Structure 1
Amino acid sequence: MAARRARRSRHVQSQPAASGQPGLVLANYGQVSLVEGEDGRILRCHQRRRLPRCVCGDRVLWEAGNPREGIITAVLERHTSLVRPDANGRERTVAANMDQVVVVVACRPAFEAGMLDRYLVATELIGASPVLVVNKSDLLDEDGRAAMEQQLQRYRAIGYPLLFTSTHRNDGLGALHRQLRAHTSILVGQSGVGKSSLVQALLPDLDIRTGELSQVTGLGRHTTTVATLYHLPDGGDLIDSPGVRDFTLLPVPVEELARGFPEFRPFLGQCRFHNCRHLGEPGCAVREAVRAGQIDARRYESYTDIARTMTSR
């Protein structure tokens, strides 16, 4: 999965003027989308040909076909979108219009810092706000918690919110509720980190909601296999996305990649060479900041790993 910036002040693709009423895509099942109208009704909608495929979180225009079905006539501008390569390496948009990305990792097995950094970079590059959630904190004793806190201090130092949660002990769930309030957030993470348990804890009536969505689609309970948007009881929207085995950034220019590391930004433009890639060139201000302890060496190592992977493609 990767992220990209959407064009501003345009629809997703050039579209003819369309009529219809505003709606919000709660989920997409290929040819069928679940669209919530302004009155709260949820309809099963197909979309007109030549429109870009709708995704969860899209704002659309739609027209009623019958009391339970409609036609999507336009897909409105996406402010942000999360994209991942499909099986053939093509870009596939998972969800749109989130302003906050909640990256969930688990205490055990130990999280892979490189993957976490790729998630965080992707979030930065679309202009959304990252939040880091360490789940299953009940598996840590006092010493383990202290060690994990120390390991993650580099993210806190950057300014990323860091929450420890446990659905078994209800730890940290109040803080997570507050973090999600008034935002459109997407929950992302590897399979097995306990994301589904978190969603259940945040949405106590989840089974009822998924049952209602399944009734509308007529497709059975498939909501765990596609990104699905839910309204949170305390305000805000939560997009639950399927777990992934790995997370891959789509290729971006190296200079753009560097901006995905916020701690690099004060030093960008100060290198000896204007086209410095921060990979060993002389007079590199970023590498000097690493040597001076102003940039964490492990974060810089993640940057070089990502940059070299992209340049080798």
Structure 2
Amino acid sequence: MAKRRLTERQRERIGAIQERRRKKLEQHADQALSEVSETAPREGKVITRHGQNLIVSDGTEHYTHCLSRQNIGQVVCGDRVVWQSTDDGQGVVTAVLPRDTALIRPNFSGEARALAANISQIVIVLAPEPPPSQYLVDQYLVAAEQIGVTTLIALNKRDLMDQTAIDSFEQQFGHYEKIGYPVIEISAKFEHGLDPLIERLNNQTSILVGQSGVGKSSLIMALLPDIDIQIGRLSEASGMGCHTTSATTLYDLPSGGHLIDSPGVRSFRLGELAPEALAQGFIEFRDFLGHCKFSNCSHQQEPSCALKEAVEQGKIHPQRLSNYLHMLQGLNPSH
């Protein structure tokens, strides 16, 4: 079913509501800032954000509930920030430090919004059910290439698959490993079944992405034996109980590194992207771009198209070219 487009009046009404919320939050933050104690500003990391509320870690197991100054822009999970304590034992975030990376996607009104900041790895989780989508995988891969992070494709629930199912999966997704994206098979049901994933999470700040039902929540429970303790610290700091777990949240991994769980990445779509940038997001295309007979080649019907010739020669998987053309059509509806 096609998504309902917002009318201009609806966009204006939503914008007005958001502006009122921003002003109200700014008043709260300004009031809190007036109560800042004499302690010096310190650096921290945003563990989670829930509406107006931020939970900030100072690098220890201590979390602080903070508000944010409005003039510093949007603050998201994973951001490194400068904050100051207030007299009531809470805090105010006064600055956001430069981000290394940010995973961006458009919100319901089409505005680009960061989901998480300073990630170093995207883990695309697939499973036998729901049937894995090559198109969704390619969207994630393009996004990863745009921000310059590594990507891992993890087939979860391997225990539910017989050899026929494995052969079918490898036929559909085996080409990703050939072009440089590692593919691993994992299962929490097997002894050491998660070892291939744990090894690749070490010393990384990873975000798990994938369709609803692929087992992300179960993976997080298995990877974080102390998750109840971490959630307890979040709840105590926020005063909001378990509601904090419905927001994008950063957890500490016992083997080193961090794991971000985001309910906002069960579906995904690319934001504004130049056609040239989209093409660069398909890494195996790069050797062939610019070598078509026509400079404005659409890579569909034109003769001597370098991308189509690469497909015929087995250097580009046909589904990858098909997905690229579909995404290109989305960027340029009149194309």
Q: Normalised by the size of structure 2, how large is the TM-score?
A: 0.83
Cα distance in 2 for partners of 1:171, 1:299 equals: 33
Aligned to 2:315: 294
Aligned to 2:288: 267
Residue 272 of structure 1, CA deviation: 3.1
RMSD: 1.8
- Structure of larger gyration radius: 2
Aligned to 2:225: 204
Residue 164 of structure 1, CA deviation: 1.2
Q: Which has the higher helix share?
A: 2
Q: Which has the higher strand share?
A: 1
SS at match of 2:203: coil
Aligned to 1:4: none
2:89 to 68, 85, 88: 68
Instruction: Kindly indicate whether structure 1 or structure 2 has the higher relative contact order, using CA contacts under 8 Å at least 6 residues apart.
Output: 1
> Is contact 2:231–2:245 with CA below 8 Å preserved after alignment?
no
> Is contact 2:311–2:318 with CA below 8 Å preserved after alignment?
yes
Residue 39 of structure 1, CA deviation: 4.3
1:138 to 154, 159, 167: 159
Aligned residue pair count: 295
Aligned to 2:194: 173
Cα distance in 2 for partners of 1:172, 1:303 equals: 34
What runs of 5+ residues in structure 2 fail to find an aligned partner?
Answer: 1-39
SS at match of 2:72: coil
- What do residues 25-84 of structure 1 show as CA deviations (whole Å, max 9, x unaligned)? 111112111111134421111111311121001011111114731111100111211122
Residue 110 of structure 1, CA deviation: 1.4
1:79 and 2:115 correspond: no
1:226 and 2:247 correspond: yes
Identity of aligned residues (%): 45
SS at match of 1:45: strand
SS at match of 2:244: coil
Amino acid at match of 2:65: R
SS at match of 1:295: coil
Aligned to 1:303: 324
For residues 85-164 of structure 1, the aligned pairs below 5 Å read 85-164=106-185
SS at match of 1:266: coil
1:27 and 2:85 correspond: no
Cα distance in 1 for partners of 2:55, 2:280 equals: 36
> Is contact 1:190–1:243 with CA below 8 Å preserved after alignment?
no
SS at match of 1:50: helix
